[in-house]
Amino acid sequence: MNRLKKNYTRGHPANAIYLKLYGNYTTNIYNIAGIDVFPLYGVVLKKTLSFKQEICNYTKEGRNLIHSKLNDSLQELMEYLLANRDEAEAVKFNDNHISKLAGQNGKSFISGMELEIENMVCCRKLPKNKGGTDDYENLVWITGTKKGGCIWKLLIIGKAII
């Protein structure tokens, strides 16, 4: 540091990275030519608690551990959807609508009520004929039985983000 004595200053920067990594660090930080130099010994890391090495998407045991955390009604809905795929729809839609069901925790997008097997339908926020896709972000689960009224229900409630 002796050669840089004329080119550095000491202080505490107030940027987000400093606060995240060095929140409780009390020693001065060197600033050389406008760049903050952080010492490695000051980094504070958090341990990842309760992470299991067995959790894996590619093994049967790993998938069972992931799905064991789902509540019983959601697991029942997912098993129903896996057994009753819609042959008229694309594979991407069939996969994403199951993921969306888990993402919504088995609740209706509009009312927030629990979905039931005989009273639920997956709708596209933006219909295919208007440029909509089968992507996860474009799908929602609502209570109802007919697909034709999906877009009207979403527009009336005002939750359609198009």
**113/65 same-domain check:** yes
Question: Which of helix, strand or coil describes residue 41?
Answer: helix
The answer to whether residue 48 is domain-embedded is no
pLDDT at 117: 86
Confidence at residue 132, expressed as pLDDT on a 0 to 100 scale:
86
The torsion angle over the Cα atoms of residues 92, 162, 132 and 93, rounded to 10 degrees, is 20
The predicted pLDDT at position 92 comes to: 92
Does 49 map to a domain? no
The ranges of the chain with pLDDT < 70 are 1-15, 21-23, 25-27, 42-46, 48-51, 67, 69, 145-162
The residues with which 31 forms a beta bridge, in sequence order, are 9, 36
- The answer to whether the beta carbons of residues 26 and 44 sit under 8 Å apart is no
Q: What is the pLDDT of residue 160?
A: 46
Q: Left, alpha or beta for 34 (phi > 0: left; psi -120 to 50: alpha)?
A: left
Q: Which pLDDT score, from 0 to 100, does residue 60 have? A: 81
Q: Is the domain of 25 the same as that of 91?
A: no
91-103 and 72-83 helices, crossing angle to 10°: 170
Does some domain include residue 53? Answer: no
**Buried/exposed code over 110-129 (b: 16+ C-beta within 10 A; e: otherwise):** beeebbeeeebbbbbbbeee
Q: How many domains does the chain contain in total?
A: 2
Residue 103: burial class (beta carbons within 10 Å; 0-12, 13-18, 19+): middle
Tell me if the pTM is above 0.85.
no
Residue 114 lies in a domain: yes
Is 118 inside a domain boundary? yes
Is residue 19 located within the same domain as residue 64? no
Give the pLDDT score at 135: 92
- 8-11 sheet: strands from edge to edge: 8-11, 29-32, 35-37
Domain that holds residue 103: 60-157
N-terminal to C-terminal alpha carbon distance within the chain? 57
